[in-house]
């Protein structure tokens, strides 16, 4: 999406005006230009934004070069200020290490290996980044996360759970007899079922969960800070919800169900691939049990 900058790149100093928040009720934003959070945007509002390695911060960065509580961004009057929180490796604005800095439109902020750009939310540039991020992360049909982004999130959540010894579970499902639905009612009916069922699931997962389409009729829900037992309860609730849901296409009622596989992080797992492989095996176990099951 963007040209990747090397860690030794020289940061170009901005000549933009100092960013104020009163003019035109503009809300400044941070856009990630390089690093593990590439393309993410964060709105700067009246509450301080905390950045660091701790999982409960506003912008958690899983990078050994980042301190647990590394920096914060705050509004003071009409100014947006960046403050280093006594980090070990420092916070840099336009290649200069700073303790505190009033941010200007276009400033580049380097924290660990993550490079942020500070811009006004009303600018054409901000709209461009928002559109590019949406194109890069969103599934074109359902509007939820696409395969590339949901798998990237899984890698990040797996690394965080492993580093801090925290629970992590995933829920993998596909739609039972989806090919038969396509063959009987047509691909438009199948596409509409994917769209409507995705909306149903989106409304019934938690705010902290990540929901994406892996491809075809296969979907993944990532459940951070959640053990296997609690994910099983959520899966059972989703399964019952889908089974009872009434879906019609061109006045024809279509009954359908989902087969769900669940896996939780364990000591023997070396990567996120192991976690999703376990969930995949459990999903196929559900199918072999006659479909419309939850296996873990």
The Cα 16–Cα 101 span in angstroms is 14
Active-site residue, from 217, 267, 274, 280: 217
| CA atoms within 13 Å, Cβ hemisphere of 176 | 23
Are the CB atoms for 91 and 151 separated by under 8 Å?
no
The Cα 103–Cα 120 span in angstroms is 11
The question of whether 255 is a catalytic residue gets the answer no
Are the CB atoms for 204 and 151 separated by under 8 Å?
no
The Cα 141–Cα 115 span in angstroms is 31
C-alpha distances out from residue 225 to 152, 172, 198, 215, Å: 17, 17, 23, 26
C-alpha distances out from residue 233 to 114, 214, 260, 278, Å: 37, 23, 12, 18
- Return the active site residues: 217
């Amino acid at each position: 999406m963007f040209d990747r900058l090397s860690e030794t790149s020289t940061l170009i100093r901005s000549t933009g005006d100092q960013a104020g928040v009163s003019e035109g009720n503009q809300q400044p934003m941070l856009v990630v230009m390089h690093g593990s959070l590439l393309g993410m945007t964060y709105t700067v509002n009246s509450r301080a934004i905390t950045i660091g390695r701790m999982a409960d911060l506003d912008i958690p960065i899983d990078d050994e070069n980042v301190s647990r509580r590394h920096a914060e961004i705050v509004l003071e009057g009409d100014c947006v200020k960046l403050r280093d929180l006594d980090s070990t490796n420092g916070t840099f604005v336009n290649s200069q290490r700073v303790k505190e800095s009033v941010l200007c439109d276009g400033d580049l902020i380097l924290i660990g290996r993550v490079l942020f750009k500070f811009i006004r939310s009303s600018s054409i540039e901000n709209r461009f980044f928002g559109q590019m991020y949406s194109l890069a992360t969103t599934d074109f049909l359902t509007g939820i996360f696409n395969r590339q982004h949901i798998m990237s999130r899984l890698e990040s959540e797996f690394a965080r759970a492993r580093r801090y010894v925290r629970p992590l579970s995933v829920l993998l499902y596909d739609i039972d007899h989806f090919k038969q639905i396509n063959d009987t009612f047509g691909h438009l009916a199948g596409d509409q079922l994917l769209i409507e069922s995705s909306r149903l699931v989106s409304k019934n997962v938690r705010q902290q969960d990540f929901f994406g389409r892996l491809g075809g009729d296969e979907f993944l829900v990532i459940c951070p800070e959640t053990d296997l037992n609690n994910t099983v309860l959520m899966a059972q609730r989703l399964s019952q919800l889908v089974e009872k849901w009434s879906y019609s296409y061109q006045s024809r009622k279509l009954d359908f169900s989902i087969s769900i596989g669940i896996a939780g992080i364990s000591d023997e797992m070396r990567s996120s691939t192991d976690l999703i492989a376990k969930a995949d095996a459990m999903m196929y176990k559900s199918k072999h049990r006659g479909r419309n099951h939850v296996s873990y």
